[in-house]
Amino acid sequence: MNGPNLNLLGTREPEVYGSQTLQDVEALVAESAAARGFEVRAVQSNHEGVLIDAIHAARTDCAGIVINPGGLTHTSVVLRDALSGVALPVAEVHISDVMARESFRHHSYVADVAIVHVIGEGVRGYATAVARLIDVLTGQAEG
């Protein structure tokens, strides 16, 4: 799941986010999950309510959620509450090292709900998040 402005990957601030596109990210996630026997449903929206609806829908047919909430990371209690409310394991991903950026990016409302945190690994961090979340789901790691 990808939040606001992540549809602009590949063109938005490539010095921060790199040149890979959202489609590249979705392909990487799908391949990483498939290699471990899991399927993925990709969702991206610039609208908080759409993301919350997708989180609610995930509770009926998903084993976990990998999410880059974008700017909502730092502002959205409602997104955090939705993730908490569905009681699915969550992996939080950020392409850039948010702790090395502006001070307003240092707080994550998702951090206390997520059991996996992958920050600053670029787009490859999505594959790391998928692998770590699957390790938790399959009992190979603790969450």
d(CA 88, CA 24): 25
**90-94 and 65-67 beta bridge pairing:** parallel
Selected catalytic residue, list 94, 107, 109, 117:
94
For 74, the 3-state DSSP assignment is helix
> To which residue do tokens 């999505």 refer?
126
Q: Sign of the CA dihedral 50, 55, 61, 64?
A: positive
- The answer to whether the annotation marks 52 as part of a ligand binding site is no
96 assigned to a ligand binding site:
yes
Choose the catalytic residue: 17, 47, 106, 117. Answer: 17
**Catalytic-residue membership of 126:** no
Task: Tell me how many degrees the CA angle 8-13-15 measures, rounded to the nearest 5.
Answer: 135
105 is known to lie in a ligand binding site: yes
Annotated catalytic, 94?
A: yes
108 is in an annotated binding site: no
**Which residues are annotated binding-site positions?**
68, 74, 81, 95-96, 105
- The binding site for substrate comprises 68, 74, 81, 95-96, 105
Write out the catalytic residue numbers. Answer: 17, 94
